[in-house]
Each structure stands twice: as structure tokens, then as C-alpha cells.
Amino acid sequence: MTSVPFPREAYYERIGATTTLLPLVTANTSTTPGALGVNFLRNLVLAHLSTIPFENVDVLLGRPISTNLADLYNKLIHARRGGYCIEQNSLLRAAMVDAGFTHIRTLGGRSVIPDEAVATGRLHVMNLVTIHGEEGEEERWVVDVGTSAGVPMGPLRLDTTASQFTPAGEFRISKYDLCTNKEMMHYARPVGGFDEGWTEYAFEMHAHSGTWRAIHRFDLQPQYPRDVFAMNYVTYQLAVIGYSLRGSRTVTTWAPEGTQGIPNGVGGWVCVPRGVHGLRVETESRVSVRTLNAYPGAPDAAPPTGELAPPVPHEEHPTTPGELYDWMVEYLGIDFTQTRLPQYNVSREEFEKALRARVVLFGGKEWEPPVY
């Protein structure tokens, strides 16, 4: 990842936080890593998720995905597009470093959706942020804005197994002994027990069924820019994400701190989650518009006042490539026809052609897992 200046003003304008978060970053002169605190991170994550959607359209078009920071700034900020996990979390990492969160480790994760028993390739990227707690102790937080489904919408404390409440619901982080994994049984157990190299963590979501469901498993080995480059290449060249259309965006508003019973405000303001728009098209089309009613530190709080866009009736779900194109523009806020950087534009014709070639629902070839 090439070192280029972070476009601070443009980023905070992009996420709608020029009067809420940007002044805090500008005024921060502390040399203490993470001096702005975890509440700043909570609001930053929500603001980012609400304006920079998860989407994989370029992968379907066969366009290479760059991990160069200059390219990420152009695509996700200036061209007002979205991206998938590696793009999203790389951009957020740069924003956090610029805001004084300088102790950040990039981690690699494995998706365990839909089968937790299968050890998939390490193709997901997330960030581990170390900050000083209120009493001076160091706290480690997992920050991930790069999942189209199951994203916690807030930082998760690493060093606890207790339930943690986020705008997306209840989550927890668990630890796994790698040698209990059926694909790892042939490795010898290390003398003296297990260290971080032999342990995987997982962030898990409390599902509506009452069970805990793992979303990603990860370890604490640092992933360097060349590691991220390799993961990114395999993802857009070979992974299943190139054979399905995915997108999501959180809906938020800014409210004065202390209103509506929602904590975690910063600088007099709090980013209030309202709902989420989601899209996944493979062998079928699943489109959702749902309201959120779980908030950080207040899991039983009533939803804030104000209406989210009403649920889309089933018969009105987009069913053709052209309708999906329009849905992504309207609900995800993607600008496919901006004039500043036309190389990131996507015409309706390109979009429809890509879906018919790559997505099974529209006649595309079914994804075949690589043979390892």
C-alpha cells in the first residue's frame, strides 16, 4: 500500500461527519495512541457504514481491485463508490491512523458462513486497534466494516468472552483451539500449551434462533501490505464473491448527545443507527430493508423516533439486472455515473451483461471452488 496523504476533509465530507467527528480529529494534539477513545470509534464506524456501502460490482465486471491507498481514496471517497472487505477496512485503517489510532494491526480472517466446520481460505481483512482505557490500561478492539452480512457495526473488545451489544445486535468473541479443527488434527501440539499462533478467535452473532453463529474466524498474526495484496488478488480472481451480487448500507442520523437515551456520544453528538439495506443475489435474489433496535450499551432501548424507508413488499423486489442497478443507486447511494473519475463508473449495459455472465440466477456459470 503506497504511502499517500490521507484526504481528511474529503473523507469526513463523504461520511457526513464534517461538523461532528472532523473537529475532534483536527483539535486532537495528544500523542497517546487512540486518545479520542472507543466512543469516537463507535461513531466513526457507523458513519462509515452509512455512507460507503459494501458492494462488489467491479469484481463481477472483471475489473482488478487495487489495495493501493491512492486508488482506494479515489474509488471509495472521490468517486463515491463502495467496495468489499479489503477495500473497506484498508480505508478505515487509514482514517483511524489519521485520527491518532496509531497502534493498529491488520488481521486476516476466514469466513465461516454458512458452514462453521469448513476452514476456508484466509481472505477477509479486519483491524485490531489498541487504545488506552479510561483508567490507563490498554484495550484491544476488533474493528470490521467489511462484511455484507453479520457486520457488528461497532468495535468489539477482544479480551473478553462476555456478550457485547452493537447497533446490529448481540455479539461475542470466542477462542478456538486450532488442534480441535478436523483439518488441523495432523499438526503436533506445541510443548507447553498454545500461544497466539495456535489459537483462532471468532466473532459470533446471537442469531434469532437463540444460538450463537460464527461470522469470521481469525488469529492475531499481523498481515503486512504484501499479505493483503495476495489475499485481495485471490479474492477478486477466484473467490465466490465474483459470482454473486452483494451490497449493504446502514442508515443513520446524527442527534445531540444525551437524546433518545442512546449513549456513546462524542463532541456533543451521537451517530444513531436507524436500519440497514441489504442485497445478495446468487441462485436467488434476497433484498431487505430492516429497522435496527439494538444500541451500544442499551440493548433494550426502544428504537429512536423517525421512520426508516418502509420494507419493500415482496412483489416489488427487484427481479431483473436493470431493476437491481436502480435499487443499488437508490438504496445504497452508489453513484455509477459521477463525472469526476469516470473510470469508476458503471453503465447499465455493463452491469446487466456482467450479471448475466457471472450470476446463476440470470444464467451465469456456477462458481467452482479452486482445487488446492
Residues of the chain with pLDDT under 50: 1-2, 182-192, 194, 196, 294, 296-308
Residue-level pLDDT at 78: 97
With contact defined as beta carbons under 8 Å apart, do 232 and 224 qualify? no
Nearest Cα residue to 199 out of 178, 179, 213, 182: 178
Q: List CB contacts of 98: < 8 A, sequence separation 6 or more.
A: 6, 8, 25
What crossing angle do the helices spanning 85-98 and 225-238 adopt, rounded to 10°? 150
- How far CA 117 is from CA of 33, 110, 188, 238, in Å, comes to 38, 12, 20, 21
Nearest Cα residue to 264 out of 171, 167, 169, 170: 167
Sheet holding 104-111, edge to edge: 156-157, 138-143, 122-132, 104-111, 212-218, 199-206, 169-177, 164-166
Please give the backbone phi and psi of residue 352, each rounded to the nearest 5 degrees, phi first.
-65, -40
Residue-level pLDDT at 188: 41
Rounded CA-CA distance 272/262 in Å is 8
Catalytic residue among 48, 58, 144, 271: 144
The DSSP string of 8-66 is HHHHHHHTT-TTTTHHHHHH----STTTTHHHHHHHHHHHHHHHS-EE-HHHHTTPPPP
Catalytic residue among 48, 71, 78, 85: 85
Catalytic residue among 48, 58, 124, 277: 124
Q: Is 335 among the catalytic positions?
A: no
Please give the backbone phi and psi of residue 176, each rounded to the nearest 5 degrees, phi first.
-125, 140
Q: Is 144 among the catalytic positions?
A: yes
With contact defined as beta carbons under 8 Å apart, do 204 and 173 qualify? yes
Q: Which three cell numbers stand for residue 298?
A: 442499551
Residue-level pLDDT at 261: 60
Q: List CB contacts of 257: < 8 A, sequence separation 6 or more.
A: 265, 266, 267, 268, 269, 270
Residue-level pLDDT at 299: 39
- Strands 199-206, 156-157: pairing is unpaired
The full set of domains in the chain, from first to last, is 37-189+196-301+309-358 (3.30.2140.20)
If you compute the radius of gyration of the chain from its CA atoms, what whole number of angstroms results? Answer: 20
With contact defined as beta carbons under 8 Å apart, do 269 and 254 qualify? yes
Residue-level pLDDT at 187: 42
Q: Is 124 among the catalytic positions?
A: yes
